[in-house]
Amino acid sequence: MIRLIGALLGGAVALVAAQLVGTAFMQGMSIPVPGAVAGLLLMLLALAIAGGVPDGLGRMSDFLLRHLNLFFVPAGVGLMAHLGLLARDGGPLVIAIVVSTLAGLVVAGLVFVWARKRTGDVT
């Protein structure tokens, strides 16, 4: 049991450290990218170099993924607390979400077609 707790704590420390390093790097370089994103990319690079995921980090990641739905509770509470704002600005928000989703799908499709043509994998 102590070993499991130690592994989970080690995984949590690794995740928080990656976020802190990413945030410090992005702020130091004045790059407008969220520190968490940069930290996870740095962690991906470190894991690729290491050749795998350490046990503690894997266990903590599995734990967080199993309980991912709890991370949506604050967003839901905020949504319920600001229903008037949503009623006022809901139409433009829905339009922005639909248009941006369609634009993302079109760009992803075009990149996919371009990549297939570039690799010669056209069937």
Mean pLDDT for all residues in the chain = 91
With 90 as the cut, is the pLDDT of residue 18 above it?
Answer: yes
Given its phi and psi angles, is residue 18 left (phi above 0), alpha (psi -120 to 50 degrees) or beta? alpha
- For tokens 């049991």, the residue is 1
pTM for the model:
0.60
Banded model confidence at residue 17, pLDDT cuts 50, 70, 90: very high
DSSP 8-state code for residue 33: S
Q: Which pLDDT does position 109 carry in this prediction?
A: 96
Banded model confidence at residue 122, pLDDT cuts 50, 70, 90: low
Q: Which pLDDT does position 3 carry in this prediction?
A: 84
- Phi, psi (rounded to 5 degrees) for 51: 85, 15
* Domain ranges across the chain: 1-66, 76-123
Q: Which pLDDT does position 95 carry in this prediction?
A: 96
Q: Which pLDDT does position 123 carry in this prediction?
A: 63
